[in-house]
A and B are shown apart, each in its own frame.
Chain A
Amino acid sequence: MVSVWTIPPLLNPDVHYWMKRLGALDILCNWAGQEEEVAMSLTAREFWVVIHGMGLGAIFLLAFAGGLAGLWSLRPEWVTAAGLEERLRRLIAGTWIMAVMAWLTVINGTYMVYPWYRVKPPAGADLTHFPRSYLLASPDLAAWHTFGMEWKEHVAWLSPILATAVAYVVVRYGSKLANQEKIRHALMVLFILAFFAAAIAGLFGAFINKVAPIR
């Protein structure tokens, strides 16, 4: 069996060497049930787009669900004092993980992925490798940039700001938050708005990367 396994250039060559030593390549190829040449490749840019959109985004989503449930249920009439402390730990983890993921996502998006998206093509270049120019060159696709990307790149930054405020207040007030109904409700609104901002960015990011992928 001939195995061809292309690792993202960023990980080459050491990871490739160790995967081969550990037999991971053969296992994967056998699992695929193919005897012919098998190739799976991902460029470094594609790898970081996946981290930006799916890796950090998935953790963000999980943390949001945990954080919101924690804020909603942090009520003295619903839990014992011991239960309150246990819920508080999860709440602190949920809100801070969401805030940190939001920061990592916008920083990675603005300073790493976005420059690849907007890089200007040389004259006569194949525009499929230059997403922004590719979209703008077609009247049928231009709105993905003029509306979708323009909104996404800005609104996403609301998310870490709002999520950080929530996470700070949760840590600052701790279990006393259970008796501060107004503050808790305000935090839920901010938390949902942080998610809403990230959801807009995430949805447009997914669609735009489908129409004009970064390669």
Chain B
Amino acid sequence: MTPQETLTNGPAAAAILASGIGSMALGLFTTLAQAITSIKNALNLYDPAGPLSGKTTVAVVVWVVAWGILHGLWKGKQVDFAKVFIATVILIALGLLGTFPPFFEAFGG
């Protein structure tokens, strides 16, 4: 870590926002799998666990990729942390909503 990086909040903001994006991705794919049968079938990566295996794998991949991109963009930079954090909280709330059965079951299944 260089001295310049230690003074910036970019890496922290990237990690925090990426966790929100990963959370939202989990909620999104949970809802999409419920609404669209072809997506549900495509997400069935490991049959004994069913589509849950694909939903969680895709969410983890989205999280890691988002983290890598954001880290590359914000490494060594100072960002508006308050805005990043608010966006993260909203994304996590969407993730929680998307994984809440009364919500995603309203889309079919």
Footprint of B on A, CB under 8 Å? 106, 110-111, 114-115, 118-119, 146-147, 150-151, 153-155, 157-158, 161-162, 164-165, 168-169, 172-173, 176, 180, 182-183, 186-187, 189-190, 193, 197
Which residues from chain B contact A169 at a C-beta distance below 8 Å? 11-12, 15-16
Residue of chain A at shortest CB distance from B50: A118
Residues A186 and B88 in contact, CB atoms below 8 Å apart: yes
Taking chain B's interface residues, is the majority helix, strand, or loop, or is none over half, making it mixed?
helix
Given contacts A155-B96, A158-B95, contact A164 B19 (CB under 8 A): yes
Given contacts A155-B96, A161-B22, A173-B6, contact A190 B48 (CB under 8 A): no
Given contacts A150-B101, A154-B30, A162-B92, contact A111 B53 (CB under 8 A): yes
Residues A157 and B59 in contact, CB atoms below 8 Å apart: yes
Residues B19 and A162 in contact, CB atoms below 8 Å apart: yes
Footprint of A on B, CB under 8 Å? 1, 6, 9, 11-12, 15-16, 18-19, 22-23, 26-27, 30, 46, 48-50, 52-53, 55-56, 59-60, 63, 81-82, 85, 88-89, 92, 95-96, 99-102, 105
Top 5 nearest A-B pairs (CB, nearest first) are: A115-B48, A165-B19, A154-B99, A150-B101, A161-B22
One of A111, A164, A168, A180 near B46 (C-beta < 8 A):
A111
Residues A172 and B96 in contact, CB atoms below 8 Å apart: no
Residues A180 and B26 in contact, CB atoms below 8 Å apart: no
Taking chain A's interface residues, is the majority helix, strand, or loop, or is none over half, making it mixed?
helix
Which residues from chain B contact A153 at a C-beta distance below 8 Å? 52
Which residues from chain A contact B55 at a C-beta distance below 8 Å? 154
Which residues from chain A contact B22 at a C-beta distance below 8 Å? 161
Residue of chain A at shortest CB distance from B9: A183
Which residues from chain B contact A197 at a C-beta distance below 8 Å? 96
Which residues from chain A contact B95 at a C-beta distance below 8 Å? 158
Residues A186 and B85 in contact, CB atoms below 8 Å apart: yes
One of B11, B48, B99 near A151 (C-beta < 8 A):
B99
Given contacts A169-B15, A169-B16, contact A158 B52 (CB under 8 A): no
The docked-state distance in angstroms from the alpha carbon of A110 to that of B52 is 8
Residues B99 and A158 in contact, CB atoms below 8 Å apart: yes
Residue of chain B at shortest CB distance from A160: B60
Given contacts A115-B49, A146-B101, A173-B6, contact A168 B15 (CB under 8 A): yes
Which residues from chain B contact A157 at a C-beta distance below 8 Å? 26, 56, 59-60
Residues A172 and B26 in contact, CB atoms below 8 Å apart: no
Given contacts A157-B26, A157-B56, contact A183 B81 (CB under 8 A): yes
Residue of chain B at shortest CB distance from A164: B19
Residue of chain A at shortest CB distance from B53: A110
The docked-state distance in angstroms from the alpha carbon of A153 to that of B30 is 11
